[in-house]
Amino acid sequence: MGALPSCSCPGRSSVTPRRLSELDKGERRRAFLHSAIAVALAWIVLVGVYYLVPVGHPSDARAFVRLGISAGLFAVIVAGQTRRIVRAELPELRAVEALGVILPLFLVVFAGIYLSLSHASAAAFSQRLDHTRALYFTITVFSTVGFGDITPATDFARIMVSIQMLLDLVIIGAVVRLLINAAKTSLTRRPGVSDES
């Protein structure tokens, strides 16, 4: 039973990627535990920061600027996570960890936007949002559940929710596929492996 393999090694280019199925039972269990802890910490930090950051009162124009900056930051993080997957010793598990960071980031960005809109105008949504209601609303939109208890009530709020809905499709389709392909690419670059799709 060897030491726990590192799930990502940004500075190590000599790491040979391995499949989870190649690990013995103990190594696999430790690797899963390590990843579960990393994802749990990411959620705790991101949601904690969301609850601690003061709520602004942006104008509609500033909300679009904030969305643009958040989208740029999000793209940089996705690119960084993709690079880490390609360099990881366990790229399959690293892809799961990356999704575990990207998803809560996406949710808290939109929750923050909705929260700011609600504080700027009480009429933006069917009820005034606090941190919990904004996060709850964002998750119901993302999961397409849409209970209807909170709804956008102004055209600008509807536009922001529509943007989230469209970006939800991008997250579910393109970003997940990108992370999976990064893991596959890493595994096919192993010495002596031509294609293991």
d(CA 100, CA 106): 11
Q: In this predicted model, what pLDDT tens digit does every residue of 24-68 receive, in sequence order?
A: 888 889 999 999 999 999 999 999 999 998 776 656 677 777 778
Helix ranges, 53-90 (H): 60-87
Question: Which residue do the tokens 């709520």 mark?
Answer: 55
Q: pLDDT grade, residue 130 (50/70/90)?
A: very high
Examine residue 68 and state whether it is found in any structural domain, yes or no: yes
CA angle 18, 176, 194 (to 5 degrees): 35
> 170-197 pLDDT, tens per residue?
888 888 888 888 888 877 866 555 444 4
* Domain housing 135: 20-188
- Residue 131 — very low, low, confident or very high, per pLDDT cuts 50/70/90? very high
* 2 domain residue, yes or no: no
Condensed to tens digits (0 to 9), the pLDDT of residues 88-125 reads 888 888 888 888 888 999 999 999 889 988 988 889 99
Question: Helix axis angle, 155-170 relative to 60-87, nearest 10°?
Answer: 10
pTM: 0.77
What percentage of the chain exceeds 70 in pLDDT?
86
Share of the chain above pLDDT 90, in %: 34
The C-alpha atoms of residue 177 and residue 106 are separated, in whole angstroms, by 16
Question: What's the average model confidence in pLDDT over 157-167?
Answer: 93
Vertex 24: Cα angle to 179 and 28 (nearest 5): 40
For residues 132 and 17, the model is more confident at 132
Residue 11 inside a domain? The answer is: no
- Higher model confidence: residue 180 or residue 5? 180
Confirm whether 138 is domain-assigned. Answer: yes
Please report the pLDDT score of residue 178 as a whole number. 81
Domain count for the chain:
1
Does the residue 110 lie in any domain?
yes
Q: Say if residue 3's pLDDT is above 50.
A: no
- Looking at the domain assignment, is residue 176 inside a domain? yes
Q: Would you say residue 173 lies in a domain?
A: yes
β-pair partners for 152 = 125
Average pLDDT, integer, range 159-174: 89
Is residue 69 situated within a structural domain? yes
Q: What's the CATH code of the domain at 175?
A: 1.10.287.70
